Amino acid sequence: MRAGISSLYLITSTGVLLSLSVPLVYDKYQHHIDEKICLAHKIIQEQYKKIHDAILKKIPLPSNKEKKTQ
């Protein structure tokens, strides 16, 4: 039981520390962080397009006309 309490304390203190420090870091380095996030978003979009074109387009989607009625 002692390990559970210390683990809960660790998670809680880490959460409080992050919730107080992340906004301060973002305010200080907002321009740099936004640039990196935009770059990461662009890369993710390009990778998704490659996956979509290579794999997801080949999966047949069910037609709306073929609805089953009971």
In tens, the pLDDT along 31-56 reads 999 999 999 999 999 999 998 888 87
Q: What is the pLDDT of residue 68?
A: 58
Ranges of each domain in the chain:
2-56
- How large is the angle between the packed helices 30-54 and 2-28, nearest 10 degrees? 110
- CA of 34: how far to CAs of 16, 24, 28, 41, 46, in Å? 24, 15, 12, 10, 18
Helix, strand, coil percent content, the chain, rounded in steps of 5: 85, 0, 15
Single-letter amino acid code for the residue at 9: Y
pLDDT at 1: 52
Contact 26, 33 (CB under 8 A): yes
